[in-house]
Structure 1
């Protein structure tokens, strides 16, 4: 398994002995460098796909319908600069924690992507499964929708996402919490606080039984 289909290995011991602090820091830097390289590659692939889509639109002279805007952690990765890697224990697992902040060279192509360049915080990554298992994010600058005509989010909004390691085999969402102050149209600002918890995951196993019928024809006599 690996980050976005890419395997990332990390040395945890040498000659049967734990790594020294300097060696551990070097390994963390290697993991950070590899993750950044993968994210950079994802950005290049996205740019290439966008160019191909635009070329196809010009060729057909028909605008393609706008795809649904699904916000993912990968969007935050592309807009951020990772720093200060360190090791911690989370949910009885060894994880690597990174601080992140807006990347100075990030250039959003669409209006809603500007939000990702205004977010900072920290993320906890399982180095074995290459999963972001916890994230704390905050809005470091106000974000306006349609120039503030429709709505605007005030600086300081926070978001927390957590996952649990279910059945000791897979990370699944456990908590999602956000606190925001938003102004909609010309109305007075609204404070919104919501916490959603997930759980009681169950593992199902299915099997398919098929009845096979064999028709044996009569043997013809010579």
Structure 2
């Protein structure tokens, strides 16, 4: 059954992804249909995720504001990370040993990987939520071509009713989506808040103007699309003036396809060999 499902996804992405031209997305109706096709392709791909290893360079709340260089392996339980360097400096012997010990613990307790990966996945989930909003939450303008990509600018649809607080913030943003014209997949998504936004008259939360979110994805030699860059800068305050922020920036390179049934123990063995 799994093989049949994968084949159906492949067929939908191959035959449904007919090359589009900028002339075909000039009207609001055509743009809506184009974005519905885009959302269908992205959902099909998300439902059948494939696994890779890659090098990651990240500065975020998770790294304590430091620049971490890591080798990452995607297992069926989640991402297994091995820290290689901090702020451009390789780990000293003591810290390298602690990192190997941590990985050996994860090999015996894969549920920890699953729990931690879900917690650290919020910025990518934000990108997915923004993608889902593209179909229903925005109005579009200025269709144009940039190389092999079709670009559309978007701005809030005043008739759209957001379903959650987070969606209210995202639905208030303006930005640009760049789509691969052949496969109809998202290449780049940029969004920013032009003016300060208050929720509950500022009592529940205030998100500051200038907050922004950018993600870039590229096609791998295996035809899968993977996130290669992400930059999230969300600033504001919540109830009782608690500072809320989401600052994360990472770059991912050197992608290599892996088996989809890879276990955490196998991932650890690959990282520590």
Q: Give TM class, smaller chain.
A: 0.5 to 0.7
Give unmatched runs, 5+ long, in structure 1.
Answer: 12-23, 44-67, 208-222
**Shift in Å, 1:154:** 0.9
**Counterparts in 2 of 1:106 and 1:41: CA distance versus 1, 3 Å:** farther
1:37 counterpart = 2:33: yes
Higher helix share: 2
Pairing of 1:50-129 with structure 2 (within 5 A)? 71-89=129-147, 94-129=148-183
Question: 3-state SS of the aligned residue for 2:167?
Answer: helix
1:196-211 residue pairs with structure 2 within 5 A? Answer: 196-204=250-258
The C-alpha deviation readout for 1:96-137, integer Å capped at 9, x for no partner, is 011111113212244433223301011100121111110111
Do structure 1's residue 7 and structure 2's residue 20 form an aligned pair? no
The 8 Å contact of residues 162 and 176 in structure 1, kept in 2 or not, is answered as yes
Instruction: State the Cα deviation string for residues 129-185 of structure 1 (Å, max 9, x = none).
Output: 111110111013433455533432112211110112211612210111022321243
SS at match of 2:152: strand
RMSD: 3.8
Unaligned runs of 5+ in 2: 1-9, 40-124, 262-273
Alpha carbons of structure 1 residues 2 and 119: separation in structure 2 relative to 1, 3 Å: farther
Measured in 2, the distance between the counterparts of 1:116 and 1:206 equals 32
Tell whether 2:23 aligns with 1:26: yes
Alignment TM-score, normalising by the size of structure 2: 0.49
- Count of aligned positions: 166
Kindly indicate whether residue 172 of structure 2 is the aligned counterpart of residue 172 of structure 1.
no
Please tell me whether Structure 1 or Structure 2 has the larger radius of gyration of its CA atoms: 1
| CA spacing shift, 1:42–1:164, aligned 2, 3 Å | closer
TM-score (norm 1): 0.59
Aligned to 2:146, the other structure's residue is in SS state strand
Query: CA 1:108–1:184 in 2, change beyond 3 Å: closer, same or farther?
Result: closer
Counterpart of 1:157?
211
